[in-house]
Structure 1
């Protein structure tokens, strides 16, 4: 135990801590909310409760926050003790520690040690007496490690401390103990991992010297928001390693770093408990992110060890273990990693050997072989060959993560540098398919050998390219994938074809049509040979990354290939498969504007979808459906792709399947469903390390929010999309996000802002929007430009949009074209064009676009005093907007109806009630900062009309300036009253 008061004193008896204190006190980054909560408890006059329990995983800063509270408390003395597992069996040892800590309190005040029968009441009386009416802060670190009588007394005292009393109590406990009866009903503050910005600041404080950006990213990824682990990682690196001059060690979180971060939580266990912890930690290794270690497996292995079985009783389990649902799991992944890494090597190998024996007897092939390999010391080439062969065999039942682990262990057992690089490349490919992008990046970073064969270097380039395509600069991804294509062409043309198509995907994301055509041309150079050789099998394309050993690479060209990229005798007989060629040639013809050649090819790709169950091939079909404008088919294919990715895998395809589905639903006007899928897509993309895919999901969410009155959501999602898109050169995501912001401005009645934002997206030139998205933006821009008085600019865009509408790839485009032509036409032609637009909308369907045309037509009719017809259009628009959830546009329709005299103005409080509907609309526009000319354009009236009504508004409200008018309108909207 350790103790502290604010008065000088001799140090009390204390248990040695396994973790040395840091040489200097670092700022507590990212803990402002927690510090405020601690300060609120310590602030006697304003405290709501006199006690607070801090909890969280090891290394997140429970002790550091407690130390901050003790340092910051200046109102009186502080009693601070730290519990020890070694004393948890000694009755009343915790209360005794408090007494020792209080030995130096001013005036000789002490905390008594009552007998066991009166401990709860006695501790409460003793703390109150020790305070003697003056402020006293009591801090107990790791209170869950106290003995049972002391915990009961502490909990009793904590629940009964009066809020206005002098005693304040701060406790830290492990997360699983917050529901313990001793601590039940106490206020709890749970520490979460630090944010990336806070960890970034902590790294700057911790590192003594510059940190290379790539090294910084690696350290932050490895630490996963744990400040103690980050400090330990930095402490183990040299200045040359931090600056990037030397490569980082492997593994980064070695035994020393993990012991430094979590060692205090491993001390005090018996030998039997330590053996059991090691066994459970070893059983996690083949599935570290799974649900836990199988209890039967652990029990079977414990029977083969000396001591572990003695600790298996349910009432004797170590407190860092939980048994639930037939599985053992650690309360913290950091503790599990530390237990495994810090164990003596011979004991660790013995644990894996015991697990391998049980698994072998039960017929678990690859997993048993993995544990057997972990029980071997040094190089073992025969074992490495066994592991590699099992990982490459599709008949072996194993997850992609397990195959990745097998390849990685084979690399460790291999003495030859070339073979090691081959195994690491295969391990990275499987990790990427499993959705473990961070692991894949580290594995591929170790797979370097200048003498590698071309096929292995090609596979390495492929993995790097796919990693960058999902989470990195898309242009870099394209070049890496083209390099992979050229290196794979001779030995593995099937995967060379897929590398070329992936390079085209990267170029598409950057909005570079020329680069996209170049990638498709490269893919086409190997496509015919690939299909002719039968390397791509109907219904079973090589959709996954290549992971087979080099010895089998050439065989894949002549034999059927499974989705794992390795030969399989069980695969169907090879026959030509036209899907890759149709997709490739259809995409290329579309980019070359050879629509007569593109359409039939892409239609065949769409038709293939109903025979497919591979996510990658289904994604091709979905993209083809979108290019053809068959959005309903794209929705069905998106749903099928998502089902296939979830049931068959690979797991890494789930975020992209959700992206296809959400975007297709957005195009059909199903905004609520698109939002639901995009929200799930953001979560899954971040889970699998695909920030570029997450950016596209954010853009979809911004577009969905732009039709409702959700300006905060639009700004949030558009900002999130643009942050990644601009950093990684994702022009498609940038265009979608800017479109969302511009459409939101247009919906809020801000045509000038909308035109300024959308104009650069639709105009031709190097800085324009994405070549495949800018056409979809044009109707919004035309509307904004006309309302902003920029009719000539709008007219030039309409002519280009006409070419897109005539192509037929967008079912809404013909109706939108008629609407755009009505907006820029003379009065004698606009009427007929609006009628044409409504007729075409009726054929195409889609509430939102039809309602926008009805709203614009209603405004046009009202301006010409055709009030009855205007009212019909505006009411229809209102109903449609409400049906599709477009609240902000529905507000526009209501305002137009009020101005048309067809609906009463909404009730307003105060002086605004005296304004007519038209005067109220003008007042609100002026309050938003619009000039008289801008108001006239927005409301489709003359500036003379605005001047006339504005003078009336000033007279009715008794204001003399626009500033006073803005204040009055703002206060009315805020609380329904006007200032006196």
Structure 2
């Protein structure tokens, strides 16, 4: 049992070290797991995770994906079971790196939502201050993809404050992705460059690849496609679990838009292998959008429409908006101005609403090219509430007292009271009851099952 626990911990270390790994890599750990002691009877979550990661590294891709799906199913089942509470806590507290990669690697936004909520709940419930910043960062990254940038910023602020308080390493990972999607070039690049320097010194190769992926997102949003292509190619040099497929999609768009489809073709083949094996709406919608970029006119339109339909059934708002942007650009270049305006207007509205300034400006420029007037808007709600103010206001909206909010965020009740005072002043409110009408619901994408999980 201890040997398999150690091997799973080694798996997490190898995932985290990524391309900068100086010790045994994922393959060596996977081979050791195959050659080592058999799992317990019945197998624990640790055993299922270890064997699934070994399969994902050693076996053919489709076989490995099936193993990861089984592992994700077991982890979700255990997370929902009150009888397995101790096992669930042990998994997140001892092996927090390995469960995180499952849902993003499988393009499963629903599972990601549930796993992230569970990780934060366990860390808060046990007072595990060393674990909570990573769990918050994991949840923040999901909120970036779902277009809830203010929520992501609040979670990042909390993670940073906790890391500072306990003398830990700042959790910069989700901040990189958020900055890239926001599209504020100088601010995003400053964070990316600082992070690259720091993670090289610490040997965190996974974060190095994530920084390159974020750079590709930033430059694609700004329309600087050659720079985006260079960054995406660097991000794709190593197959990091959890976001390698995302980097391939950035490479395809940048390659096509920069007039280098020869770089995009092989990336599409690698992306398709992954997306079809996963089979989720997110993965298949991403593939359809990427394939449309490389297709002739007859096939491209159907693929763009498929991408919009599939992504519209997911939480990933920013990717839906991006599919509409690409379809609108394609329509405009074929002189179908009226049709293109519909897609571009929708993309512009979505990007503006969530605060994706780079992509919003790209959509606005395309709208202007169709002859439609598009006023430049202030994106997001950053000018109104800070990240921590938004988080505290959201908790107060749900009925938590100042004392309960303070306990959850590891701050004083006086600090909560001060932040709420700022919230009331900025939003023109006089009581907590008014927060319900002034703020959006906790998650406008939640269905009934998800509301129950969140509760």
In 2, distance between residues paired with 1:816 and 1:621? 23
Deviations 1:536-578 (A, max 9, x none): xxxxxxxxxxxxxxxxxxxxxxxxxxxxxxxxxxxxxxxx562
Counterparts of 1:388-467 in structure 2 under 5 Å? none
Task: List gaps (5 residues or longer) in structure 1.
Answer: 1-492, 533-575, 907-980
1:657 pairs with one of 112, 118, 135: 135
Q: Do the aligned partners of residues 863 and 629 (structure 1) sit closer, same or farther apart at CA in structure 2, a change above 3 Å counting?
A: closer
The match for 2:8 is: 501
Contact 1:609 1:621 in 2 (8 A): no
1:683 pairs with one of 158, 161, 166: 161
Contact 1:725 1:734 in 2 (8 A): yes
The match for 1:584 is: 50
In 1, distance between residues paired with 2:151 and 2:286? 23
1:806 aligns with 2:284: no
The match for 1:415 is: none
Query: Which structure has the greater CA radius of gyration?
Result: 1
Contact 2:123 2:129 in 1 (8 A): yes
Number of residue pairs matched?
362
2:179 pairs with one of 705, 712, 728: 705
The match for 2:125 is: 647
Higher normalized contact order (CA 8 Å, seq sep 6+, divided by chain length): 2
Q: Do the aligned partners of residues 635 and 596 (structure 1) sit closer, same or farther apart at CA in structure 2, a change above 3 Å counting?
A: closer
2:26 pairs with one of 509, 516, 524: 516
The match for 1:444 is: none
The match for 2:398 is: none
1:666 aligns with 2:144: yes
Secondary structure in 2 matching 1:844: coil
2:251 pairs with one of 778, 781, 785: 781
Shift of 1:903: 1.7
Q: Do the aligned partners of residues 616 and 685 (structure 1) sit closer, same or farther apart at CA in structure 2, a change above 3 Å counting?
A: farther
Q: Do the aligned partners of residues 791 and 721 (structure 1) sit closer, same or farther apart at CA in structure 2, a change above 3 Å counting?
A: same
Secondary structure in 1 matching 2:181: coil
The match for 2:107 is: 629
Q: Do the aligned partners of residues 527 and 646 (structure 1) sit closer, same or farther apart at CA in structure 2, a change above 3 Å counting?
A: farther
Deviations 1:147-202 (A, max 9, x none): xxxxxxxxxxxxxxxxxxxxxxxxxxxxxxxxxxxxxxxxxxxxxxxxxxxxxxxx
The match for 2:298 is: 828
In 2, distance between residues paired with 1:881 and 1:904? 13
Shift of 1:785: 1.4
The match for 1:848 is: 318
Shift of 1:797: 1.0
1:902 aligns with 2:372: yes
Counterparts of 1:177-192 in structure 2 under 5 Å? none
The match for 1:885 is: 355
Task: List gaps (5 residues or longer) in structure 2.
Answer: 377-455
Secondary structure in 2 matching 1:865: coil
Contact 2:103 2:242 in 1 (8 A): no
In 1, distance between residues paired with 2:299 and 2:193? 41
Secondary structure in 1 matching 2:259: coil
Deviations 1:222-253 (A, max 9, x none): xxxxxxxxxxxxxxxxxxxxxxxxxxxxxxxx
In 2, distance between residues paired with 1:501 and 1:687? 29
In 2, distance between residues paired with 1:751 and 1:808? 28
Shift of 1:623: 4.2
Counterparts of 1:253-272 in structure 2 under 5 Å? none
1:747 aligns with 2:224: no
Q: Do the aligned partners of residues 796 and 623 (structure 1) sit closer, same or farther apart at CA in structure 2, a change above 3 Å counting?
A: closer
Secondary structure in 2 matching 1:834: helix
Q: Do the aligned partners of residues 829 and 523 (structure 1) sit closer, same or farther apart at CA in structure 2, a change above 3 Å counting?
A: closer
**TM-score computed with the length of structure 1 as normaliser:** 0.35
Contact 2:109 2:314 in 1 (8 A): no
Deviations 1:56-115 (A, max 9, x none): xxxxxxxxxxxxxxxxxxxxxxxxxxxxxxxxxxxxxxxxxxxxxxxxxxxxxxxxxxxx
Q: Do the aligned partners of residues 904 and 625 (structure 1) sit closer, same or farther apart at CA in structure 2, a change above 3 Å counting?
A: closer
The match for 2:208 is: 734
